[in-house]
Amino acid sequence: MLSNHHLLSPAVEAEIASRYEETVSLLKTLCQIPAPSNHEELRAQWIKNWLDALGAQGVYIDSALNVVYPFQCDGRDDIVVFMAHTDTVFPDMKPMPMKEEDGKLHCPGVGDDTANVAVLLTIVKYILEKNLHAAQGFMFVFNSGEEGLGNLKGCRQLMEDYKGRISALISLDGSYTGYVNKSVGSHRYQVEVRTEGGHSYGAFGNRNAIAVLSSMITALYSVKVPVDGDSRTTYNVGTISGGTSVNTIAQKATMLYEYRSDSKACIDQMEKMFYSVIEAYRNMGVEIDVTVMGKRPCMGDLDPQAQKALEDRFVPIMTAYNGGITPKAGSGSTDCNIPFSMGVPSICFGGYRGRGAHTREEYVVLESLIPGLKIVGASVLSYFQP
């Protein structure tokens, strides 16, 4: 039977749930502050100002655009981090359309990860108002660069700045119907092919960069993915571009390509395969530039008992406040990739339900924020003195 000793008392549960309307208002405000990966300045500054106005001491924005609140860290090497990422996958630098309809809040990025930022901020406010103290080192972070080519920039910076001092990291990302306890690593590349090109009639016969790139993509897609136990490995060409006009033999064509796996052995094999294809085309006299756009690591040397203890702490909380439904464990590419690779126990789950993440049709079921507040509240307060 799952333990429930970290659940909220009825009085605390009721008070945290009563902050639902405040959380919705906060979510709507945050949704209107643009924060594409690598351009989180506006949202980061807003969050810092909001925390400062509450009386939070020592909040700072680091060089990676993380908003860091070292709540109780001086001289501590047992710091627990709760974090939620501020960036969205969308490049828009103007407020995106938002509407509330049928109990749902629709807006690109509303769930991933703005809802979790709002929920965590609400819990921070509760802690400050109640003047609570953690039983160990503790830190709240609203981090940058989780999405796409953000390349986990914020979490990398945090783990480097506090290297050896963080004992556990909890990333609030996604829903409370499941959790990530294993990292999916990935390598991402920009590949540019260049040929002599020329006029489509006068220089017919010259190599066309688009045709060469298309052939390369076909070769990459003919690969049989490696297998390591029950691992899963995938690959994808996400964008292609190139050419000048309909009557021009393209001199340049570019693609973005990635492969990912929850097995380091498979990642290593995919890397060898990728570069073997590149070299094969170079040996045919094709000029190719490869730029590494990002690398996310797989699992490192992790203490299985410490990891199990972390999961045993939070799974009962998610289960209790989600109608007794036990969340499903799975692998994923999240901010936890960085601490996992460094042997630091980590887990990723969220405080809402919704659909459409990474699409412009994304929405959050607003009432799901009530159990979400209880789940995140109980999870954070499990480290605080009664």
- pLDDT for 56 beyond 60: yes
d(CA 242, CA 252): 6
What is residue 101's predicted lDDT score, i.e. its pLDDT? Answer: 97
Relative to beta strand 248-249, strand 198-199 is antiparallel
Question: What angle in degrees, to the nearest 10, is found between the helix axes of 369-381 and 20-31?
Answer: 100
**Residue 198 predicted with pLDDT over 50:** yes
pLDDT value, residue 4: 65
pLDDT at 1: 34
pTM for this predicted structure? 0.91
SS3 241: strand
What are the tokens at 360? 């412009």
Q: What is the pLDDT of residue 2?
A: 42
Is 113:85 a contact under the CB 8 Å cutoff?
Answer: yes
Measured in degrees and rounded to the nearest 5, phi and psi for residue 379 equal: -65, -45
- Report the greatest alpha carbon distance in the chain: 82
CA distance 231 to 262: 6
What is the number of alpha carbons within 13 Å of residue 301 lying toward its C-beta? 0
Lookup: tokens for 272 = 């060898």
Q: Where in the chain is the domain with CATH 3.30.70.360?
A: 185-296
Q: Are residues 240 and 254 in contact, defined by beta-carbon separation less than 8 angstroms?
A: yes
Q: HSE on the CB side for 81, CA within 13 Å?
A: 34
Please say whether the structural domain 185-296 has been given the CATH code 3.90.180.10.
no
**Strand, coil or helix: what is 136?**
coil
Contacts of 173 (CB under 8 A, 6+ apart): 84, 85, 112, 113, 116, 146, 334, 335, 348, 349, 350
Q: At 7, give phi and psi (nearest 5°).
A: -75, 160
| pLDDT reading at 5 higher than 80 | no
What residues form DSSP beta bridges with 88?
36
Q: What is the DSSP letter of 175?
A: -
DSSP 206: B
* For range 342-358, the mean pLDDT: 97
What's the mean pLDDT when you consider all of the chain? 96
Token readout for 305 is: 């008992």
Kindly give, in sequence order, each residue whose CB lies less than 8 Å from that of residue 287, ignoring residues fewer than 6 positions away: 193, 194, 195
d(CA 92, CA 39): 10
The beta strand positions in 15-72, using DSSP E, are 60-61, 67-72
d(CA 202, CA 131): 78
Start-end of CATH 3.40.630.10 domains in the chain? 10-183+298-381
227 burial level (CB within 10 Å; 0-12, 13-18, 19+): middle
Write out the two tokens for 345. 């126990």
How far the first Cα of the chain sits from its last, in Å, is 24
Q: What is the CA 246 to chain-centroid distance, rounded?
A: 40
Q: Was domain 10-183+298-381 assigned CATH 3.40.630.10?
A: yes
Q: Can you read off the two tokens belonging to residue 26? A: 């906060």
The packing angle between helices 116-130 and 10-17, to 10°, is 130
pLDDT digits (tens, 9 = 90+) for 110-120: 999 999 999 99
Q: What percentage of the chain reaches a pLDDT higher than 70?
A: 99
pLDDT in tens, 67-105: 999 999 999 999 999 999 999 999 999 999 999 999 999
Q: Which residues contact 256 (CB under 8 A, 6 or more apart)?
A: 188, 189, 190, 191, 237, 238, 239, 293
Residue for token digits 């190719």? 288
Mean pLDDT of 126-153: 95
